[in-house]
């Protein structure tokens, strides 16, 4: 990828505090993968498994970890202590995140007169900010997003286009919410015994902690009376559903298509891998990892890895699966043994002396 910018390897190294191995005056005009990079591009080699690509790349310069052993025939390179931080810094130099630089309130934005906005809040086209909503300093809300009555959004947040924050949702500082996500929709509560299944009112709130990131097209339901909450530093992938009254702890990773049923409590540093499901009214303790497509049907308290349906210790599940995969051969062997036993019984019957008439 290229833009109308040009840096030398020296300038890139200074930006990331890296060590140059090669020509410091080489000009770089873009950023690309090892496979697609050309002579004017900078690329990244983050781990040993990419060394074969490094050997074939046409990149003019490559950013590498200081701990990675690189052949002397490699392109000019910059060795850095933290490769991910270096990538973020250099990619911003070539392809800026323009949402960081948006300012002002677009003429088509609708802001209620009772809303309280910090002076440097930025609103994109078609944003709606309802009555008594509050938005903190440095927050940017992109086009088409909706903030309901008494919504509170903290400082330095980024709300991508077409996000919906319904009434009384509380969002902390430095939160990122991606497009299509709805926070604060009603919990799924109905009275099945009554004719027509009347709806149970959902009066609680959703509370999003500081430094949370929520992916695209997630749905987070408000509590029936108190709050649904997502703790500080937790990250949700796309297409995650969090039901009413759920409480998720700090620094968790919730991967795509996970569903968490109502009133479940999840501890800190938990990972729910893709398409995992968690039943309602359960407690999952700290430092637990749930493998993809697993189903949690009971409380889990001991740290470690769990897998399968119902979820159990991953080692136990691996042994169960290994035995399952062996079942067809075991069945064939059993049939052979049954056949052989039947043959032996027939032979024994034929060899038995006949009795006197």
Active site residues: 244
Provide the 3-class DSSP secondary structure of residue 350: helix
User: Does the N-terminal peptide bond of residue 310 adopt cis geometry, omega within 30 degrees of 0?
Assistant: yes
Question: 9-16 and 83-94 helices cross at what angle (nearest 10)?
Answer: 130
Rg (CA), the chain: 29
C-alpha to C-alpha distance for 237 and 286, rounded to whole angstroms: 20
Q: Yes or no: say if 119 and 50 are a contact pair by the CB < 8 Å rule.
A: no
* CB-CB neighbours of 43 under 10 Å: 27
Structure-derived torsion over alpha carbons of residues 141, 147, 153, 157, reported in degrees to the nearest 10? -20
What DSSP string describes 263-293? T-EE-SS-EE-TT-EE-TT-EE-SSEEE-TT
> Exposure of 339 by Cβ count < 10 A (0-12 exposed, 13-18 middle, 19+ buried)?
exposed
The structure tokens 């968690």 sit at 278
Beta bridge partners of 2: 30
Identify which of 283, 280, 292, 169 has the alpha carbon closest to the alpha carbon of residue 219.
Answer: 169
C-alpha to C-alpha distance for 167 and 54, rounded to whole angstroms: 52
C-alpha to C-alpha distance for 188 and 242, rounded to whole angstroms: 11
């Amino acid at each position: 990828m290229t833009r109308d910018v040009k840096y030398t390897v020296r300038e890139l190294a200074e930006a990331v505090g890296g060590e140059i191995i090669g020509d410091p005056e080489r000009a770089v005009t873009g950023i690309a993968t090892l496979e697609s990079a050309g002579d004017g591009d900078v690329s990244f080699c983050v781990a040993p498994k990419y060394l074969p690509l490094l050997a074939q790349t046409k990149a003019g310069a490559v950013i590498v970890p200081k701990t990675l052993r690189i052949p002397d025939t490699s392109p000019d390179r910059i060795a850095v202590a933290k490769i991910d931080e270096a990538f973020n810094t250099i990619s911003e130099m070539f392809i800026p995140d323009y949402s960081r630089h948006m300012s002002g309130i677009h003429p088509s934005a609708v802001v209620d007169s009772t809303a309280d906005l910090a002076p440097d809040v930025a609103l994109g086209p078609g944003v709606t900010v309802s009555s008594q909503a509050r938005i903190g300093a440095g927050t940017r809300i992109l086009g088409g997003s909706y903030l309901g009555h008494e919504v509170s959004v903290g400082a330095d947040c980024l709300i991508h286009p077409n996000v919906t924050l319904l009434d009384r949702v509380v969002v902390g500082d430095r939160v990122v919410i991606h497009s299509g996500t709805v926070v604060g929709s009603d919990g799924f509560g109905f009275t099945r015994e009554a004719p027509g299944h009347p709806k149970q009112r959902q009066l609680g709130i959703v509370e999003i902690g500081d430094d949370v990131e929520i992916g695209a097209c997630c749905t987070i339901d408000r509590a029936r009376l108190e709050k649904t909450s997502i703790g500080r530093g937790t990250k949700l992938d796309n297409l995650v559903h969090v039901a009413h009254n759920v409480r998720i702890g700090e620094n968790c990773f919730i991967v795509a298509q996970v569903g968490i049923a109502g009133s479940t409590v999840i501890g800190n540093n938990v990972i729910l891998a893709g398409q995992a499901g968690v039943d309602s009214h359960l407690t999952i303790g700290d430092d637990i990892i749930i493998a993809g497509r697993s189903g949690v049907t009971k409380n889990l308290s001991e740290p470690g890895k769990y897998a399968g349906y119902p979820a159990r210790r991953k080692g136990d599940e691996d042994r169960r699966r290994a035995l399952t995969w062996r079942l067809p051969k075991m069945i064939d062997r059993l049939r052979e043994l049954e056949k052989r036993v039947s043959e032996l019984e027939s032979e024994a019957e034929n060899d038995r002396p006949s009795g006197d008439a």
